Structures are given as C-alpha cells and as structure tokens.
C-alpha cells in the first residue's frame, strides 16, 4: 500500500462493529448517493490500497447433480437445466489448472463441488487438491456445501485458507429461494469453519426477487457475526433457463447494486468485497463505481462455476483504463 492516494486518507483506523441495527444499516444504504460513496471510499482507504484489486480464479471440480434445490442454480438435480452431472475431478488436473491460473495472475484459487455436503470418501482427494494449490504458493478456497466439525478440521489441517458458504439473502426471504436447507444450517457451517480456524468467504446474490430490505439484512447478518467474513462476494443473478427463479427474476438497478457494495464496505471495513457473478452484464462504468464503493476483489478467467465471466483481456483493459493493478499476494503464501 504505497500509493499517495491511499496514504492521504489512511491515517484513521476503521471501527469494527458487530452490533448494527436494522435502522442504522438501512439509513446507510438509502443515504444520498454521493454521501454514501464518499463514506465507503474513505473507509476503504483506511485499510486497502484503492488502486489494487485481488484476483481469484474459480473452478468447478464437481458439476451438477446437487441434492439442494436452490432456485437460481443450474447444478441442482431438482431443475431441468440440461447440465450433465460429473464426477469429482482428479486432483492432478485441478492442480494443473491452478498453476495456469497462477501464471495468469490469480493469487487465490477457489474450488467448488456441487454437493449438499461431502461424503467421507470425498475428503482425501479434496485434501490433495488443497495441498497441491498451497504448494503453488496460492491461497486455497473450497466450497463443498455443509460440513461436519471433523471435515472442517481436516480441511484446516490440510492448510485450507478460505471456505465459501454464501447465505444468499436475508433470513426472511431465504425460504423463497431454498427449501432443502434452512438459513440456520448455513450459519451453523460458518461457525464450524471459523471454529476450525479457516477464514470465511460469505456473501449473497442480488436479483432473486428480493427487496432492498433483504439486501440490507443479508449484510447486517454477516456484519453482526462474532467475526466478519474475510471475503464477502456480491453476485448479480444470471438467470439460467430451467431454474425456477429465472422465470421471476427482475434486473437489479445498477445504483442499487453499487449501494450494496458500499454498505458491505462500510459495515465490514477489513473484508475483501468481491464482484462475483454477473460482471458480464455490467458496464465498465458500473464496475468502476463498484470499485469506488469499496469492491477490491474479482474473479478472473472466462467462466465461473457454470456462468460466463468477462475474461482476462477485457479485465486487463478495464484495469488499465482505471489505473488499477492486481494485488500481489503470492509472495506471502509461497512455500518454496
């Protein structure tokens, strides 16, 4: 963090709170846009270099056939999306893909498996993947569904840095999105992960048919956890034919999306706030506003789990236009 622009406003240290009220959070979200952006950018500069963005890459290591009925997801066995189910990838192929991602500029490698929860037989190859990614000097992130205490400990012992487990939306709206598990189930796994000493990656999706209140409450839930998630991905729904929510999804107003990013930054000052799915539908100007509002992390590459992503050349062009450079975390995590 050596830019002049960063040091100008970085003197104060942001206040970390876990007691946000509904009224406080809503007032921030609905503040005049210029005031909201100024507050979010000021807080952002107290912890992060505003001209650096962390780059992650995501790989689907096991596709489709998931027992959960998430209304937005193409990988659910409950939906007719023509997505074939696959077996878990061989660890060697995952590690080879991670090396290519590292060479393309990714510093964190995220691996996702379409499971309700992993079976014990799945843990050995998953652990091999984690160790292989770590040996490349990268941060390793997994999303495998719900975990037991023992599975969380196994992943921690393998050196897993982050576990992704999104809460998707507010507790009030959650049952409209998913019926095969409860909001409390999600929080239970987050607690297991944190107790095991693994960092948490947890956020949500905009465009599910939720109200602004649901967006605010989703972030308030995360900000009021005993420990803030170290990463907060904010996704914009990409409607997928064959999923229930694709029929009722409503486009998210760009300014409402930016307000959500800003609220995440203000309430969780030290968390990485990530622009996740949906960037293909965002203009460069919208993404620039998100970075100004405190987003400091993206997924690179052409695809996410089953949806498109802008691709490296487009991201490089945008970064060049904005004077943004990828955050170099590799040296911190190198094992050799």
Between the CA of residue 111 and those of 25, 133, 185, 202, 208, what are the distances in Å?
A: 32, 10, 21, 14, 24
How far is CA 189 from its chain centroid? Answer: 16
Q: Indicate if 55 belongs to the active site.
A: no
Label residue 76 by pLDDT band (50, 70, 90). low
Label residue 311 by pLDDT band (50, 70, 90). low
What is the distance between the alpha carbons of residues 318 and 324, in angstroms, rounded to a whole number? Answer: 8
Closest CA to 317 of 294, 295, 287: 287
Q: What is the pLDDT of residue 140?
A: 95
Q: Indicate if 70 belongs to the active site.
A: yes
Burial class for 326, CB neighbours closer than 10 Å (0-12, 13-18, 19+): middle
Mean pLDDT lowest for which of 120-124, 186-190, 237-241? 237-241
Reply yes or no on whether the pLDDT at 256 is more than 70: yes
Mean pLDDT lowest for which of 6-10, 26-30, 58-62, 178-182? 6-10
Q: Quick check: 41 and 53 in contact, CB under 8 A?
A: no
Q: What is the pLDDT of residues 154-169, one digit of tens each?
A: 999 999 999 999 999 9
Label residue 249 by pLDDT band (50, 70, 90). confident
What does the mean pLDDT of the chain come to? 87
Query: Looking at residues 288-312, what average pLDDT do you find?
Result: 76
The single residue of 70, 108, 259, 279 carrying the catalytic annotation is 70
Q: What is the pLDDT of residue 332?
A: 40
Q: What is the pLDDT of residue 43?
A: 97
Q: Indicate if 202 belongs to the active site.
A: no
Q: Indicate if 290 belongs to the active site.
A: no
The single residue of 39, 45, 66, 259 carrying the catalytic annotation is 66
Q: What percent of the chain has pLDDT over 90?
A: 62
């Amino acid at each position: 963090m050596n830019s002049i622009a960063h040091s100008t406003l970085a003197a104060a240290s942001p206040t970390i709170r876990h007691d946000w009220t509904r009224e406080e959070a809503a007032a921030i979200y609905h503040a005049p846009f210029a005031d909201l952006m100024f507050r979010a950018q000021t807080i952002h500069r107290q912890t992060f270099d505003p001209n650096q963005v962390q780059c992650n890459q995501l790989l689907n290591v096991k596709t489709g056939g998931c027992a959960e009925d998430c209304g937005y997801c193409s990988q659910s066995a409950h939906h007719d999306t023509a997505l074939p189910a696959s077996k878990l990838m061989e660890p060697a192929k995952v590690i080879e893909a991670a090396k290519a991602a590292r060479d393309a500029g990714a510093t964190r490698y995220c691996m996702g498996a379409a499971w309700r929860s992993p079976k014990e037989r799945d843990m050995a190859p998953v652990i091999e993947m984690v160790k292989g990614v770590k040996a490349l000097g990268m941060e390793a992130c997994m999303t495998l569904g719900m975990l037991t205490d023992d599975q969380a400990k196994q992943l921690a012992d393998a050196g897993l840095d982050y576990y992704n487990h999104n809460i998707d939306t507010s507790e009030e709206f959650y049952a409209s999105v998913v019926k095969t598990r409860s909001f409390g189930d999600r929080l239970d796994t987050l607690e297991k992960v944190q107790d095991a000493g693994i960092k948490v990656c947890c956020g949500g999706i905009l465009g599910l048919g939720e109200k602004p209140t649901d967006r605010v409450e989703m972030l308030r839930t995360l900000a009021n956890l005993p420990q803030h998630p170290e990463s907060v991905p904010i996704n914009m729904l990409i409607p997928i034919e064959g999923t229930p929510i694709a029929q009722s999804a409503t486009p998210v107003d760009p300014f409402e999306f930016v307000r959500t990013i800003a609220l995440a930054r203000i309430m969780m000052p030290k968390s990485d706030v990530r622009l996740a799915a949906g960037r293909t539908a965002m203009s460069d100007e919208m993404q620039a506003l998100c970075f100004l509002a405190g987003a400091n992390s993206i997924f690179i590459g052409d695809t996410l789990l089953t949806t498109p992503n802008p691709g490296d050349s487009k991201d490089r062009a945008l970064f060049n236009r904005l004077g943004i450079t990828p955050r170099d975390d590799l040296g911190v995590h190198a094992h050799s």
